[in-house]
Amino acid sequence: MFIQDSLHRPLRDLRISVTDRCNFRCIYCMPKDIFGPGYKFLPQGDLLSFEEITRLVQILHQLGTRKVRFTGGEPLLRQDLEELVEMLAQIPNLELALTTNGSLLGRKANLLKKAGLDRVTVSLDSLEDEVFRAMNGVKFPVSRVLDGITAAEDAGLSPLKINMVVKRGVNENSIVPMAKYFFGTPHIVRFIEYMDVGNSNGWQLEEVVPAKEIIEMINSELPIEPLEANYRGEVAKRWKYKNGIGEIGLIASVTQPFCGDCTRARLSAIGELYTCLFAANGQDLRQLLRSGATDDQIKERFIGVWHQREDRYSEIRSENTQNKQKVEMSYIGG
């Protein structure tokens, strides 16, 4: 049985934020004036335990969820994350993926693969140290992330997806070099339009480099042609190289919204369920878990929330949404 709404969109993909901590201050979620050295992160006891996460995933799996992605913050900062991976790997027909900034991937890749992780996505906004640091506010070099990618390859987690958020005036000149760097490899670079996630990143529409422009830039150097989607609800438009191995993806939430095909839900580190990346409020599931609710009661809450969803922020972005309160990406991941 799948959870479906009136548009027949199943809840297939659950994104779990396992921590609110990060070692980046990226353009989406970690501005220095808010997340500086004195910022107080969540106490460990407020976070869902691995056992609580596993129970929720088992319930959702009964309702049709077939993919779990670990996010953050930076998920590899969650101590012993590989233990959670191993617990969830016991659930049949469930794909386990991880989105990471790559800074700790070199240390963890082998452990995660052995535990049962299937896929890894690495955030990498430029191959130039100066631009990379401008986008992410970090002190370590790009080479550390590239070493993490190599470690994931060696561990058997290839092919990887490489996510590059594009912000005009900062890293649009890194688009073609990024495509060229991974050209001929099995890895898929996904170029992402800069989105107005949360309320703290000072997003402006003129900072968006539209997907159409990104495609034109790449095609002028490396000819490409479109591919069919792998499945309904796939957020990235796929393109393949005409004269070589590999493909790229374009995620155009701003200029080409895909709300109508969304099959994702997000679970915060403290157990709040969000049905949209741009939502203002989540539904508290931790209270249900810790107050003795049965699996059926939790299942009913999930179904009720999913059936009532009316999320279409990206489709109405132009209709006075500038001042709408939205959850920060550091809280629910990407």
pLDDT band at 257, cuts 50/70/90? low
Q: Residue 8: inside a domain, yes or no?
A: no
CA dist 274 → 221, 288, 293, 306, 331 (Å): 40, 16, 20, 10, 11
Q: Model confidence over 46-71: pLDDT tens digits? A: 899 999 999 999 999 999 999 999 99
Backbone angles phi, psi at 198, to 5 degrees: 70, -170
The residue count for the chain: 334
CA dist 294 → 56, 58, 100, 288, 297 (Å): 11, 13, 33, 8, 5
List the Cα angle 7/10/15 in 5-degree steps: 125
Mean pLDDT of 162-174: 96
Q: Residue 316: inside a domain, yes or no?
A: yes
Q: Residue 4: inside a domain, yes or no?
A: no
pLDDT band at 308, cuts 50/70/90? confident
Q: How many structural domains compose the chain?
A: 1
CB neighbour class for 35 (10 Å; exposed up to 12, middle 13-18, buried from 19): buried
Q: Which residue has the higher pLDDT, 42 or 287?
A: 287
Indicate the average pLDDT of the chain.
84
Mean pLDDT of 303-323: 63
Q: What residue type is 91 in one-letter code?
A: I
The two most distant CA atoms of the chain are separated, in Å, by 59
Q: Residue 102: inside a domain, yes or no?
A: yes
Instruction: Give the chain's end-to-end CA distance (angstroms, integer).
Output: 27
Question: What's the 3-state SS for the chain?
Answer: CCCCCCCCCCCCEEEEECCCCCCCCCCCCCCCCCCCCCCCCCCHHHCCCHHHHHHHHHHHHHCCCCEEEEECCCHHHCCCHHHHHHHHCCCCCCEEEEEECCCCHHHHHHHHHHHCCCEEEEECCCCCHHHHHHHHCCCCCHHHHHHHHHHHHHHCCCCCEEEEEEECCCCHHHHHHHHHHHCCCCCEEEEEECCCCCCCCCCCHHHECCHHHHHHHHHHHCCEEECCCCCCCCCCEEEEECCCCCEEEEECCCCCCCHHHCCEEEECCCCEEECCCCCCCCEECHHHHHCCCCHHHHHHHHHHHHHCCCCCHHHCCCCCCCCCCCCCHHHHCC
pLDDT at 7: 39
Q: Model confidence over 264-300: pLDDT tens digits? A: 888 999 999 988 766 667 889 999 999 999 999 999 9
Q: Residue 315: inside a domain, yes or no?
A: yes
Residues 6+ apart with CB under 8 A from 7: 260
Mean pLDDT of 197-226: 86
Cβ atoms of 61 and 13 within 8 Å: the answer is: no
Q: In CATH, what number is assigned to the domain containing residue 32?
A: 3.20.20.70
Q: What region, left, alpha or beta, does residue 105 occupy, with left being phi > 0 and alpha being psi -120 to 50 degrees?
A: alpha
Report how far residue 293's alpha carbon sits from residue 273's, in angstroms, rounded to the nearest whole number: 16
pLDDT band at 114, cuts 50/70/90? very high
Q: Which domain holds residue 210?
A: 13-332
Q: Residue 1: inside a domain, yes or no?
A: no
Report how far residue 286's alpha carbon sits from residue 179's, in angstroms, rounded to the nearest whole number: 42
Q: Is the pLDDT of residue 4 over 60?
A: no
Q: Residue 61: inside a domain, yes or no?
A: yes
pLDDT at 316: 59
Q: Residue 3: inside a domain, yes or no?
A: no
Report how far residue 39's alpha carbon sits from residue 77's, in angstroms, rounded to the nearest whole number: 16
pLDDT at 188: 97
Report how far residue 106's alpha carbon sits from residue 144's, in angstroms, rounded to the nearest whole number: 8
